[in-house]
Structure 1
């Protein structure tokens, strides 16, 4: 089983990288897309999801970049954008990253906000996929993401966690008509992940773990429980990630 984890995080602690690599090794995960973690603590983040609010803290993108550069291609770095900081840093460093993450949950900035649009314009120029998760606030819902994706039809967008909540079938239905939005499966119920495969097709679903918030073995068990046919499994677990990143793929973790 060759697996690409399309959504893991690297926190700023000194031992975070070796812990991540050990977790991937133990789970048999060959590659992972990584973005900065620990931008805000979980208590604050969960409160913002319910009550609104935002942070202006900047993610530790340099640690993510360095981890990716030193991994021999195993770790694929995504730039975690702070919309309050503008686009200059992302534009300057885009060539050293492989994708962009937008987080309305952390920053409280919606998908139609000019600051978000400016970041996606840089992603389009860099041929970066854009990973994000909608929230239940005006301007940052899945429907707003669909509007943004329509404006940038050549940019691949990935809806994290198959939506805002663990049972967000509505979000999966909303993105279904928009072909440049895929869904990532970490954190959602298995019935939602299965619905994503059925509604979107296996070509538009990616496996992820949300490590370290979720143990990889939990998400691998969910993937196995979907009972996908071998072709669909390869797409979800391996092939789709490489296609969105503009890579060709082969078995056993080799990238050609």
Structure 2
């Protein structure tokens, strides 16, 4: 289903820009075809999917630095449709993010890519800068100690003024327990790309529509797939407006066309 059948504008809270020619044009064309007005964008392709899946399952990490400058340039040329998130490499330190923090609108931390736990001092250094800048922090939890939903809750308790985004509603696609774990922390919200429809419904029930965000994980997932998932849930128009538009505007502290 396209956005034409849905009663409000849509903001995609989680898309990626691959480091290849034409990636920005492909993203904007796909968004337009799906009726998506804006997207929060972070660097993609930091490691290959074979490496990423192995690290998620078996452990390990990369020290690669994401192509943040390319994301920033693409967003600047997008006419306001793309909003840049800084993809942290905690192994390299926080200096580059701190120096450019005003150019970005959010931060992403990925234990699956870089391997660091939420209680690692290098992780907390990044979150401290994000907190001072008013940036939301997007994370995807794993099943390993230090990166589980309970560890995210502990990190969120350290930074109660910062909004943390529970990416994909967990890494398994069916992390009902993770949603229940974050429910008590009001500064943690859930982003739903890649998870099952039953998980979205549970997040809406357990957290409320104001704490759920629409996302796609483009280009790994086409927006039409995520829109169809929501269409199957038959949400009220008010709930869909919260999830698809108003929550993103509130969390990012910006207005979008």
Common fold: TM-score over 0.5 = yes
In the alignment, what sits opposite 1:216? 223
1:136 aligns with 2:143: yes
From 184, 195, 215, the counterpart of 2:191: 184
List per-residue Cα deviations over 1:2-47 (Å, max 9, x = no partner): 1000000000001111110111011010000000000000000000
List per-residue Cα deviations over 1:29-77 (Å, max 9, x = no partner): 0000000000000000000011000000000000100111111211000
Aligned residues of 1:164 and 1:171 also touching (Cα < 8 A): no
List per-residue Cα deviations over 1:158-214 (Å, max 9, x = no partner): 000011210100110000000000000100000001100000000000000000000
State the alpha-carbon separation in 2 of the partners of residues 226 and 91 from structure 1.
Answer: 41
What TM-score, normalized to structure 2? 0.96
From 225, 238, 241, the counterpart of 2:232: 225
In the alignment, what sits opposite 1:86? 93
**Helix, strand or coil at the partner of 1:211:** coil
From 189, 197, 200, the counterpart of 1:193: 200
Tell me the number of residue pairs that the alignment of Structure 1 and Structure 2 aligns.
Answer: 250
Aligned residues of 1:197 and 1:205 also touching (Cα < 8 A): yes
Q: What RMSD in Å do the two structures reach over aligned CA positions?
A: 0.7
In the alignment, what sits opposite 2:62? 55
In the alignment, what sits opposite 1:204? 211
From 58, 80, 98, the counterpart of 2:105: 98
Q: Which is bigger in relative contact order (C-alpha 8 A, separation at least 6)?
A: 2
In the alignment, what sits opposite 1:241? 248
**Helix, strand or coil at the partner of 1:9:** strand
From 145, 154, 158, the counterpart of 2:152: 145
Contiguous gaps of at least 5 residues in structure 1: none
Contiguous gaps of at least 5 residues in structure 2: 1-7
Q: CA deviation at 1:247?
A: 2.1
State the alpha-carbon separation in 1 of the partners of residues 29 and 96 from structure 2.
Answer: 31
**Helix, strand or coil at the partner of 1:55:** coil
Structure 1 runs (4+) greater than 3 angstroms displaced = none
In the alignment, what sits opposite 1:32? 39
1:125 aligns with 2:144: no
**Helix, strand or coil at the partner of 1:149:** helix
